Structure 1
Amino acid sequence: MERKMKKMVVSGDVTVDWFFWSVKGMDPGGMGGEIPLNWELHTGMRKEVIPGGAMLLARFVKDVTGSIVISPQLTNLNQIPPEEVLHFTVMLSRFPYSSVRKAEKDMVLRVEKEAGYTGPTLGKVKQLTVADDDPDAEIVVIDDAGNGFRDEEPVWPAALKDKRQEPFVVLKMCGPLARGKLWDWVQKSHAERLVVVISADDLRTEGVQISRQLSWERTAADFIWQITNNRSLETLAACHNLVVFFGLDGVIHYMKDKDSFKVHLYYDPLQIEGGFSQMHRGGMIGLTSAFVATMVAELANGGLDGLGEGIRRGIVTSRRLLQKGFGNDSARVDYPGKELFLPPQKDEPQIMDVPVPRQNALDSEEIRVWTILEDLTQQRLEDVAYNTLTAGKDPALDKVPIGQFGKLKTLDRTEIESFRSIKNLMVEYLSKGFQNRPLSIAIFGPPGSGKSFGATQVAKSIGEESIERLEFNISQWESPDDLIKALHQVRDTVLRGSVPLVFFDEFDSNFQGLPLGWLKYFLEPMQSGVFKHGDITHPIGKSIFIFAGGTSEAFKNFSREGCDEKEINLFKEAKGPDFLSRLRGYVDILGLNKIGENDKLYMIRRAILLRSLLDQKARHFFDSTGILQIDPGVRRAMIKVPEYRHGVRSMEAILDMSMLTDKRVFEQSALPPPKQLKLHVDAELFSKLVTMDVLFGEKREDLARIIHNSFLQDIKKSKEKRPKNDPAIKPWDKLNEHYKESNRQQADNIPRYLHAAGYGFSPVVRREPVRVKLSIDEIGKMARMEHERWVVEKMGTGWKYGEKKDTAKKLHPCLCDWGKLPKKEQDKDRHTVRRFLDYLAQAGFEICKLD
């Protein structure tokens, strides 16, 4: 990218960074007869000294902009004592390039441990002035690490202190945040051209509650609530541009303008905060500096309007720095050069961005939970589901955050947050040594929603190989002795060195005629981590208990939320509150079926699961590019059937009953017969969905007849005078084939019109079609399309525009653009469109929103 050359000055807290790393001793057998010195046979230690802090930031700014950058200067670094300039010591080690590339040739040097600072034992750290300072600098970049620079006004750049200057000021600030003379000065003198860059972790350190590793929507919502309501953030909330980075995976850009503000979220949809770092072991010095330098380059090129692109590219740059580390040369270390700042490459994950709605300032009364998925897909959910099933992706989903837990994939924000929450609990629990009580988690969902599968995949995604799965169905137990036997199996698993992942399925079953009768028997094992067998008390050991609901489809049902006093008292008698107090988390799994009228994402959930199941059971249906070969009718039925009677198990059963072997396409003939289908779906409706294209084709003639008869009725009602020999107003049986075909063409185009307005249609069985009221805009859009179709049809048969209709000369005054069509004629097309619902209803179909 061609950069505009601007005068830049970079200053701030400076360090002398010392890097130490070990090297292997020499192998005498591989030296060709040359005898090594004794010290060369032993593991050795190498060291390198590199300018750090503001000087490193200045180096990066110079590399990315190509400009002359004025900054503090130091020479003979290895001779500078820590009494003059802070020293920072870092221990390096060799790490795999990533969790995927682990070969020896791909190893790179990264930070294993930050050993800390060395400074003067008495007095302050010496602050450096800018060499050859220029008061006319157009961009001032400050690295405020909280090590004294912020309060030493004499060393600040001249362009920053001169009230006559109006440079862009980029302040990279560490905690304590928004304090000191420097902060007061830039807020007072450079507010409108100031860009402040801070980390989310520094905010959290100061007591700002922003969730971690749940979902990007939740992170953004927490930030907005805090910046709006937390009085300790008032000075930050006054910033015209505040950039908050969340690891190497996301950034929030807060923009204040007088009394209003906007928030933009930048994020990797495939990761959550900290995800990229987890894939690349070891740390790296200078990650934030690389981000800021990239942002400064875009600021220099496009002013404040360039910040968005600078943030996006900055995330990519800082990720590259972590990946590359200090290279794999054991002889010396250094930071990557200009190649670090190349434009994003095709193989690098895309950084997406979305505006965050202000109404998402969360509190306990919030009704609507904002999701990126709904904002991006809007009225295309049916198409998105079809594309997701067939191609594994849809352009609308490129920006949507994805929760991937082993083989479990979900796009639903609520599920993502719940699964990540229990994953975090498991990671924390497993990372600790001895545990004297189990980790207890509850999972709820409709029958067949995949409760067991979900929890298992979350556990596997942790990468802990010692986890061993056990499962018990409580509804089949006859006495508390069955629980004792189960806990012995759990204990035996612990003694073998594994961590049991124990599923207590249908834990909320009745026992001895009492609702939730088993709860009280779990209290002691959950609380104390022990169980009694006779007079002997046995410790259970480190284990994870998963309580899967059988009679309760959601946590609020189990906890009796919103129930009457009688139900609540029964819950208390069953020790329900005591059981809840021992849980450390819960998940509500949505399953495949639509949950209430507001559940607009069920079709996408089905598409994701169906593609996964077919990948396991019929991999031969996928071509070399990953496209699923599936008949459109089969696809439609599997996605749109109103209900799978037994959830995931029903979808899987339909696949198991289908004849998929030795076929290259999942065709209609492969499906099981209706008698088998009715075990799992409404077989009649499922079959009609499969053959809907054929059904619509069969109804084509009926629809055309209905359209023509409606036209005749409208002519009669309007008392429009037409010649008796007008061929267009004859009964259907006597109608000229040309006019019949025109009606057929109109019928053929109804699905296209509906789709353009965000509607689809489905066959109806055993009930009357539900009527949908079309909006004025939707009617207008379809009416215009119908007019355009009619114009093409007429002109295709030789008709032309004429001020008056002349059948002999094939002239018509309505053969014009929609905007020039008289309102009376437009209203006729609108009336025709309104009748579409009647036409489809008479033919046995109903229309429905695609979302």
Structure 2
Amino acid sequence: MNDAGLGFRGKEKGRWPAAVRRPGSEEEGPWFVLKMAHPVAEGHLWEHLICKCPERLVVVVAVDALRYGDVHISRGVSWEQTASDVHWELLQNSKAKSLACCAYVVVSFPTVGAFLLSRRRADSDPKEMKPEGRIFFDPEHIEDTWAEVHPGSMVGYTTCMAAAIAYKIATSDQVDIHVISDGVQAGLRAQRALHENGYVERRRGDTLVGLAPPYTAVAKAIRKAVSELQFSYAEMPEQQPREQSSKGQSSKQSSNARPGWWTILKERYKDEEQDKEDALLRVATEIVQEGPEEALKHVPLARFERLVTVDRREIEGYRNVRRLIVDYLQRRTATVPLSIAVLGPPGAGKSFGVRQVARSVSKDIRIIEFNIAQWTDPEELYEALQQVRDEALSGKIPLVLWDEFDCNLGNVKLGWLKYFLAPMQDGYFQRGGHRHPLGRSIFVFVGGQFSSMKELEEESSRSDSSNAGGSKVRDFVSRLKGYVDVIGPDPIPATKSSSEHEEDRGDREDKEYVLRRALVLRNILEYHAPHLFSKRDSKDLPIAPGVLNAFLSIPEYKHGTRSMEAIVTMSLLAGRKRFERSCLPAEAQLDLHVDGKEFLKLAQNPAVGTPAEKTSC
């Protein structure tokens, strides 16, 4: 049934099909697939179906139809956040919770993903079963990002999803979550077929008589074999509620608290808990040798030009920053700088990351960088702000990297912060008794002392009354519009909270650091040693497994990603077709960046999971 909110859901039951008026009882009777439009979960048709046959009802609804009804679902942050939002809203929001009484609810994110809430399982009574969530997703895209590559929109995405699910039900002996899941996969393929083919011309002879949906292409996509599926999926874990409300304020645990922190990456390897480190090391090996798109087919990853990350915290941070920049560029009337902070340990790749994000938005953004640690007088800051003003007056929007903004000014801790407050808040700076408007610009504050926003905020509470730095930190943070905590290539200490979500992570041991290292190493080698990828268009990297093991397994890089890059550029790779152990620098040179003896020892052993044909050194 296609309920477009145009009157079919009203009181005139005589217009409803006989099967709807007399739907049977309990397990006897037909299955109903209801494509629902805004306003959701309203009307006589809905009340009739949810009362008479909820155990045989499948609802298909577009995510924007829910959003129009004051259902809060984040857009384009991460698939984990999306799944958590939909799951919570369907179960707790009074405007949508009746949907959760159905056997299955499918929330469609056209062309990129879908969320399935299920109350039915072969071994469970649907009336007593706790709702289970499953997120289907494109690992390389999220809402809006696929549309950037494939611009435009079509009418009929949700119809494609409903048609695919109906087809799978109609051609199956029994209906279970596997059938519905197959329908969701087919629906996503059908949505892409609709988008990519567009409407086709209907002709009578040589005369154009109208347009029609691409029925043949859509039907072909729905009938595709299961082995050709291109979308991944993940089950939402059973979680304890977070002890924070959605506003971040402390609250008592309750059944309606939002779910805690989880990652699809961690869920992917939860069944291999005993050998999780070995499993992650195998994946890291594949990332370096074959590329992230090949090795990480079933987990979300984000790419911004040369930057690739698989860590949920970084994905959410960078995507939020990118959205802020895009929105700022579109607001022509903005006169106050957009202020963003990027924090992380030294050598984490903070400046590199934000540069790549900016370039993914527009190649025309002018990037200017100042290292505040080299300054000794506020007059130098005013000269820098004048450069920013000149750039803005030329018609360009400068993106200014204020590197090490959190350094001391003389003996004053965080002494530079107070000089940024007026430019951040009012968009001007005072010099020589005159006010100088800055114009449109983007300020990115790159930290050098604090590894996370949480650490920076804690600094204000540690400051006593004799140190004004504490209040300036609060004033500074209040002017920020967003931030990113960059993690870096080394494991996060188990006793250290890297973000506000740390207490939600359960197992605090950071085992995913090998994946971060693998992504960085692959990027560095593609940039500094492209000749190693000898075959044209080849993504395979010839590297000795022992060398790879050393890069991935060394306990610590003294200077973060800078150390990884230094070891690669110090290695004798010119004219080589393979990264051998003999290419590595001497132990004394390695000691600048790692424990040289330990690094060379690790290089004697192949990495876990390296294929036999690639183990020769």
| Alignment TM class, shorter chain as reference | 0.7 to 0.9
Task: Tell me the amino acid that sits aligned with residue 416 of structure 2.
Answer: W
Q: Rate the CA distance shift 1:525–1:478 in 2: closer, same or farther, 3 A.
A: same
Task: Tell me the amino acid that sits aligned with residue 158 of structure 1.
Answer: A
**Which residue of structure 2 lines up, in the alignment, with residue 312 of structure 1?**
185
**How many Å separate the matches in 2 of 1:360 and 1:281?**
40
Question: Does the CA-based 8 Å contact 1:160-1:167 persist in structure 2?
Answer: no
Q: Which residue of 540, 547, 563 maps to 1:650?
A: 563
**Which residue of structure 2 lines up, in the alignment, with residue 197 of structure 1?**
60
| 2:198 counterpart of 1:325 | yes
Q: TM-score, normalised by structure 1?
A: 0.62
The alpha-carbon deviation at position 692 of structure 1 amounts to 3.6
Q: TM-score, normalised by structure 2?
A: 0.85
Question: Does the CA-based 8 Å contact 1:519-1:574 persist in structure 2?
Answer: no
| 2:22 counterpart of 1:162 | yes
**How many Å separate the matches in 2 of 1:518 and 1:185?**
65
The alpha-carbon deviation at position 209 of structure 1 amounts to 1.6
Q: Rate the CA distance shift 1:568–1:155 in 2: closer, same or farther, 3 A.
A: farther
Q: Alignment partner of 1:310: what SS?
A: helix
**Which residue of structure 1 lines up, in the alignment, with residue 474 of structure 2?**
577
RMSD over aligned CA atoms reads 2.5
- For 1:242-321, what aligned pairs fall within 5 Å after superposition? 242-256=105-119, 257-259=126-128, 260-302=130-172, 303-305=174-176, 306-321=179-194
Question: Does the CA-based 8 Å contact 1:444-1:587 persist in structure 2?
Answer: yes
Question: Does the CA-based 8 Å contact 1:633-1:689 persist in structure 2?
Answer: yes
Equivalent residues, number: 554
Question: Does the CA-based 8 Å contact 1:264-1:354 persist in structure 2?
Answer: yes
- Higher gyration radius (CA): 1
| 2:346 counterpart of 1:447 | yes
The alpha-carbon deviation at position 314 of structure 1 amounts to 0.4
Question: Does the CA-based 8 Å contact 1:443-1:549 persist in structure 2?
Answer: yes
The alpha-carbon deviation at position 560 of structure 1 amounts to 1.1
Q: Rate the CA distance shift 1:612–1:529 in 2: closer, same or farther, 3 A.
A: same
Question: Does the CA-based 8 Å contact 1:423-1:459 persist in structure 2?
Answer: yes
The alpha-carbon deviation at position 327 of structure 1 amounts to 4.4
- For 1:658-677, what aligned pairs fall within 5 Å after superposition? 658-677=571-590
**Which residue of structure 2 lines up, in the alignment, with residue 334 of structure 1?**
212
Question: Does the CA-based 8 Å contact 2:71-2:89 persist in structure 1?
Answer: yes
Deviation string, structure 1 residues 187-241 (Cα, Å, up to 9, x no partner): 1122111101112222222222221111111111122222333333331221221
| 2:516 counterpart of 1:605 | yes
Deviation string, structure 1 residues 481-511 (Cα, Å, up to 9, x no partner): 1111111111111122211010000001111
**Which residue of structure 1 lines up, in the alignment, with residue 299 of structure 2?**
400
Deviates more, 1:472-481 or 1:324-333: 324-333
Task: Tell me the amino acid that sits aligned with residue 486 of structure 1.
Answer: A
Q: Alignment partner of 1:471: what SS?
A: strand
Q: Rate the CA distance shift 1:255–1:568 in 2: closer, same or farther, 3 A.
A: farther
Q: Rate the CA distance shift 1:396–1:660 in 2: closer, same or farther, 3 A.
A: closer
Q: Alignment partner of 1:149: what SS?
A: coil
Task: Tell me the amino acid that sits aligned with residue 19 of structure 2.
Answer: A
**How many Å separate the matches in 2 of 1:393 and 1:671?**
24
Q: Rate the CA distance shift 1:541–1:621 in 2: closer, same or farther, 3 A.
A: same
The alpha-carbon deviation at position 358 of structure 1 amounts to 2.9
**Which residue of structure 1 lines up, in the alignment, with residue 503 of structure 2?**
none
**How many Å separate the matches in 2 of 1:551 and 1:163?**
66
| 2:333 counterpart of 1:434 | yes
**How many Å separate the matches in 2 of 1:659 and 1:232?**
64
Question: Does the CA-based 8 Å contact 2:281-2:514 persist in structure 1?
Answer: yes
Q: Alignment partner of 2:106: what SS?
A: strand
Question: Does the CA-based 8 Å contact 1:225-1:361 persist in structure 2?
Answer: no
Q: Rate the CA distance shift 1:567–1:298 in 2: closer, same or farther, 3 A.
A: farther
Question: Does the CA-based 8 Å contact 2:237-2:267 persist in structure 1?
Answer: no
Deviates more, 1:672-681 or 1:619-628: 619-628
**How many Å separate the matches in 2 of 1:549 and 1:592?**
17
Q: Rate the CA distance shift 1:374–1:178 in 2: closer, same or farther, 3 A.
A: same
Q: Alignment partner of 1:546: what SS?
A: strand
Q: Alignment partner of 2:458: what SS?
A: coil
| 2:409 counterpart of 1:539 | no
Task: Tell me the amino acid that sits aligned with residue 127 of structure 2.
Answer: K
Q: Which residue of 481, 484, 497 maps to 1:587?
A: 484
**How many Å separate the matches in 1 of 2:353 and 2:263?**
21
**How many Å separate the matches in 2 of 1:644 and 1:212?**
36
Question: Does the CA-based 8 Å contact 1:520-1:574 persist in structure 2?
Answer: no
The alpha-carbon deviation at position 411 of structure 1 amounts to 0.4
**How many Å separate the matches in 1 of 2:436 and 2:397?**
17
- For 1:747-786, what aligned pairs fall within 5 Å after superposition? none
Q: Alignment partner of 1:266: what SS?
A: strand
The alpha-carbon deviation at position 349 of structure 1 amounts to 7.7
**Which residue of structure 1 lines up, in the alignment, with residue 368 of structure 2?**
470
The alpha-carbon deviation at position 622 of structure 1 amounts to 2.2
Q: Alignment partner of 1:691: what SS?
A: coil
Higher relative contact order (CA 8 A, sep 6+): 2
**How many Å separate the matches in 1 of 2:132 and 2:523?**
39
Q: Rate the CA distance shift 1:403–1:341 in 2: closer, same or farther, 3 A.
A: same
Deviates more, 1:255-264 or 1:607-616: 255-264
- For 1:766-845, what aligned pairs fall within 5 Å after superposition? none
Question: Does the CA-based 8 Å contact 2:345-2:488 persist in structure 1?
Answer: yes
The alpha-carbon deviation at position 453 of structure 1 amounts to 0.7
**How many Å separate the matches in 2 of 1:222 and 1:540?**
39
Deviation string, structure 1 residues 19-38 (Cα, Å, up to 9, x no partner): xxxxxxxxxxxxxxxxxxxx
Q: Rate the CA distance shift 1:360–1:432 in 2: closer, same or farther, 3 A.
A: farther
| 2:231 counterpart of 1:351 | yes
Question: Does the CA-based 8 Å contact 2:322-2:358 persist in structure 1?
Answer: yes
Q: Rate the CA distance shift 1:568–1:263 in 2: closer, same or farther, 3 A.
A: farther
**How many Å separate the matches in 2 of 1:487 and 1:148?**
60
**Which residue of structure 2 lines up, in the alignment, with residue 622 of structure 1?**
533
| 2:79 counterpart of 1:216 | yes
Q: Rate the CA distance shift 1:660–1:584 in 2: closer, same or farther, 3 A.
A: same
- For 1:473-488, what aligned pairs fall within 5 Å after superposition? 473-488=371-386
Question: Does the CA-based 8 Å contact 2:241-2:259 persist in structure 1?
Answer: no
Question: Does the CA-based 8 Å contact 2:197-2:217 persist in structure 1?
Answer: no
The alpha-carbon deviation at position 569 of structure 1 amounts to 7.5
The alpha-carbon deviation at position 274 of structure 1 amounts to 2.5
Q: Rate the CA distance shift 1:496–1:340 in 2: closer, same or farther, 3 A.
A: same
**Which residue of structure 2 lines up, in the alignment, with residue 848 of structure 1?**
none
**How many Å separate the matches in 2 of 1:585 and 1:604?**
26
Question: Does the CA-based 8 Å contact 1:224-1:358 persist in structure 2?
Answer: no
- For 1:498-509, what aligned pairs fall within 5 Å after superposition? 498-509=396-407
The alpha-carbon deviation at position 448 of structure 1 amounts to 1.0
The alpha-carbon deviation at position 465 of structure 1 amounts to 3.1
Question: Does the CA-based 8 Å contact 2:292-2:519 persist in structure 1?
Answer: no
Question: Does the CA-based 8 Å contact 2:201-2:212 persist in structure 1?
Answer: no
**Which residue of structure 2 lines up, in the alignment, with residue 375 of structure 1?**
267
Q: Rate the CA distance shift 1:459–1:348 in 2: closer, same or farther, 3 A.
A: farther
**How many Å separate the matches in 1 of 2:201 and 2:308?**
35
Deviation string, structure 1 residues 55-97 (Cα, Å, up to 9, x no partner): xxxxxxxxxxxxxxxxxxxxxxxxxxxxxxxxxxxxxxxxxxx
Question: Does the CA-based 8 Å contact 2:110-2:191 persist in structure 1?
Answer: no
Structure 1 unaligned spans of 5+ = 1-141, 694-750, 757-851
Deviation string, structure 1 residues 297-354 (Cα, Å, up to 9, x no partner): 1111124231110100101111110111124899553221223221459998811111
**Which residue of structure 1 lines up, in the alignment, with residue 591 of structure 2?**
678
The alpha-carbon deviation at position 363 of structure 1 amounts to 5.1
